[in-house]
Amino acid sequence: MSKIFENMWNIPNLMSIVRLILAPVAAFLIYYDYQGYAIFALVIAGSFDILDGIIARKYNLVTEFGKLIDPLADKAMYALVLIAMVLTDQIVVWYVLLFILRDVLILIGTLSFSSKVHEIPQADKFGKLSIFINAMSIFLIICGVKEINGIFLLIPLILLYLSTINYILKGMDIIKNQK
């Protein structure tokens, strides 16, 4: 566990910590119908999400802490924002339940994987693309594009689950190759 906290205080990790702090702020703003401010918070968080990874890779600042805090910030943002959206009837419940179920499965898988391999796996491009498409769908709903809600959320959700299957298969392959 101490390896995770080595070299944790760098710019990309601090950006992820800011995203983690912005998660309840964005949810609060959505719940109390401050959509403009919520959009601003989400744009800041989304920008930091993109930039922290770019900076970490470009300047060789990828850390075990960053591999942990980055997806944690993502999951906190999605969970809290989606719950606020359900509570204010902005998004359908089934989408949120399936989205959060997927995150729970990923968390369990990551913990199991990291206990066997002693490292935290990074997301791949397909996973990042599926999250981006889901994020854009959620963002458009918050911006007032209600036509996306409902059946149109199936496509991003299917992509999300396909990326989860891909992630599981890659993890199993890594474990198999270490034996």
Q: What average pLDDT does range 148-173 have in this prediction?
A: 84
The pLDDT assigned to 125 comes to 80
CA–CA distance, 179 with 165 (Å, rounded to integer): 22
> Is CATH 1.20.120.1760 the classification given to domain 2-178?
yes
DSSP states along 48-76: HHHHHHHHHHHTT---HHHHHHHHHHHHH
Residue closest to 163 by CA, chosen among 122, 123, 135, 136: 123
Say yes or no to pLDDT of 13 above 60.
Answer: yes
36 or 102: which carries more pLDDT confidence?
Answer: 36
The pLDDT assigned to 121 comes to 64
Q: What average pLDDT does range 41-70 have in this prediction?
A: 93
155 or 84: which carries more pLDDT confidence?
Answer: 84
In the chain, which ranges are continuous DSSP H helix? 11-31, 35-58, 64-87, 93-117, 125-142, 154-178
Q: Does the model's pTM come out above 0.75?
A: yes
Q: Which two tokens stand for residue 160?
A: 């999300």
Percent with pLDDT over 90 in the chain: 47
What does the pLDDT look like over 45-57, one tens digit per residue?
999 999 998 999 9
- Close Cβ partners of 32 (under 8 Å, ≥ 6 residues apart): none
Say yes or no to pLDDT of 1 above 60.
Answer: no
Residue 89 near residue 38, CB atoms below 8 Å: no
Say yes or no to pLDDT of 118 above 70.
Answer: no
CA–CA distance, 56 with 179 (Å, rounded to integer): 30
Residue closest to 101 by CA, chosen among 143, 44, 160: 160
Tell me the range of 6-15, 25-34, 58-67, 122-131 where mean pLDDT is highest: 25-34
Say yes or no to pLDDT of 90 above 90.
Answer: yes
